[in-house]
Amino acid sequence: MSKVVFDISMSLDGFMTGANRRPEEPLGDGGERLHEWAFGEDPRDRAVLTDGVASIGAVIAGRRTYDDSVPWWGADGPTGPARVPVFVLSHDVPEGTPAGGVYTFVTGGIEAALEQARAAAGEKGVTVMGGAETGQQFLRAGLVDELSIHLVPVLFGSGTRMFDNLGDQPRTKLVLALGLDPGLVDGAGGEQGDDRDHLAADGDPGGVNRGAPGQVAVADDERPDRAGGHAEAAA
């Protein structure tokens, strides 16, 4: 069965958008900073993107993420020339979708979207890419196998928090890998780092190893059986 990964960029203080989201600034004030790494030339960041796209067989996104992003995604979707299928959680099917687009609009909730995404993905993974409410629905329902966070060296102070509204969660095993860029903290009194490093911690206070660049992964190998109905509204 396809692994389900919630993949998101997040600020050091836990926000996945800046404050004051509006149509002309869908990521809020300064929110584009969270995704600059994906468009740069650092070979380590390029490797994360290349490896990530190669492992994805389907994408799940919320309707607001689609509405905010489709002007840039176009018909090909977030994976560009790879044209990975995108399943959009929605209450209805919008008019004027891109001709020949990779998008399927799912009105039956998160489990219906996941079922269709897994069928399309085959042996590859399914990525849930947001927004926050969509990711939180999948986390609350226990449908996420791995949480992949691209931790960006910026402090927002306000905005959309990633880890709100999760309810009671089963214990998970945390594997942490941090990519630290020059300008480690961007804010008043910030410190400057001269390179990035990658650290991994598996829950053992003494166990720190080299890890993968720029990601935080939660391996949900201690979750109870999750057979059961979930049909939350699309976000």
Residues 213-232 have pLDDT tens digits of 444 444 444 433 333 333 33
Q: Which of 21 and 124 is assigned the larger pLDDT?
A: 124
* Domain at 4-22+53-219, CATH class: alpha beta
Region label for 130, one of left (φ > 0), alpha (ψ between -120 and 50) or beta (otherwise):
left
Residue reference for tokens 């306000």:
158
pLDDT band, very low/low/confident/very high, at 27 (cuts 50, 70, 90): confident
Rounded CA separation 181/10 (Å): 14
0.85 exceeded by pTM: no
State the virtual CA torsion across 59, 45, 221, 209 in degrees, nearest 10.
180
Split at pLDDT 50, 70, 90, the class of 47 is confident
Residues in the chain: 235
